[in-house]
Amino acid sequence: METRRLGSTGHQSTVITFGVYAIGKMSQPDADRLIEDALARGINHFDVAPSYAEAEQRLGDYLKRHPQPELFISTKTEQRTAVAAREELLRTLDRLGRDRHDLYQLHAVCTSEDLDICFAPDGPMEAILTARDEGLVGPIGITGHGWSSPLTHLEALERFPFATVMTSCNRMMFERPLFRSSWFALLDHCQQQDVGIQVLKATAKGPWGDRTPTHNTWYEPFTAQADVDRAIAWLLAQPVTTLCSAGDATLLPGICDAAERWRTVDPATADALLADPAYADFFDAA
């Protein structure tokens, strides 16, 4: 699988990051199999958070039995006080059996208000910077999702030189003019400042709305391989580093397949995603 430099972290991340949420509600044997599937596909970057059910415990259990010293693991905190963030940071290290975070991220920072809380006195940023000074944390990143996340992360980069951003984008979100302009502004800033870009919801078709979810995802995902191919190709043609795989284990093979052949999809074919009238639901709900 292709790799790209994750900004100033210097890590050559595979263009697909394994979203470890996918194993959060699995038994350990099933989690082991999915982890090994991801590794067998060549994925060298895993992303996990304490809020992903039992994902940290499942991954940590596997790593303690099968050490993967070359595996890059990005971790997160959604805590909003220094004390709670410190406790969570240390607990994640213990669960994963590691002595240092490869990339530690402020998690779910989606609005300016979220950002203010994170940078407030006795906020989580204080704990992260202290841990970095102690050698417990390497590069620092920020994550968020939704329509406001590109502008929020652009504001965050003006406050602090984050090494990475993780934000949501897909072909349908891009159709919104305000989102598109803020996405371009974020891309431009990240390219200038050597910030790695990680993308969420690359294969989202739209919100579930009133429909009963059929997958372990927060959104309705593409399932037809041709649609997955187009969605992945459209994003990988942009100056991003890596796309985080969906939270449903059954979707991982198709996402990996798409990433391995994305250059075979021409831009016009990728844009054909918009031809499906079902996407009207996506825009109506946005």
Whole-number Å distance between alpha carbons of 220 and 248: 11
Total domains present in the chain: 1
Residues 6+ apart with CB under 8 A from 198: 6, 17, 47, 74, 141, 143, 164, 165, 166, 167, 240, 241, 242, 243, 244
For 161-187, the pLDDT digits (tens) are 999 999 999 988 998 999 999 999 999
User: How much is the pLDDT for 278?
Assistant: 57
User: How much is the pLDDT for 281?
Assistant: 53
User: How much is the pLDDT for 279?
Assistant: 56
User: How much is the pLDDT for 272?
Assistant: 79
Residues 6+ apart with CB under 8 A from 109: 115, 118, 142, 143, 144, 152, 153, 156
Which residues constitute the domain of residue 242?
3-285
Residues 6+ apart with CB under 8 A from 188: none
User: How much is the pLDDT for 275?
Assistant: 67
Closest CA to 102 of 204, 6, 217, 202: 6
Q: Do residues 28 and 58 lie in contact, with contact meaning Cβ atoms separated by under 8 Å? A: yes
pTM, rounded to two decimals: 0.95
Measured N-to-C along each axis, helices 55-65 and 28-40 cross at an angle, to the nearest 10 degrees, of 70
How far does CA 116 lie from the centroid of its chain? 22
User: How much is the pLDDT for 40?
Assistant: 98
SS3 207: coil
User: How much is the pLDDT for 282?
Assistant: 52
User: How much is the pLDDT for 208?
Assistant: 85
- According to DSSP, the β-strands at 204-206 and 196-200 are unpaired
CATH number of the domain encompassing residue 251: 3.20.20.100
User: How much is the pLDDT for 286?
Assistant: 46
Under-70 pLDDT residues of the chain: 275-286
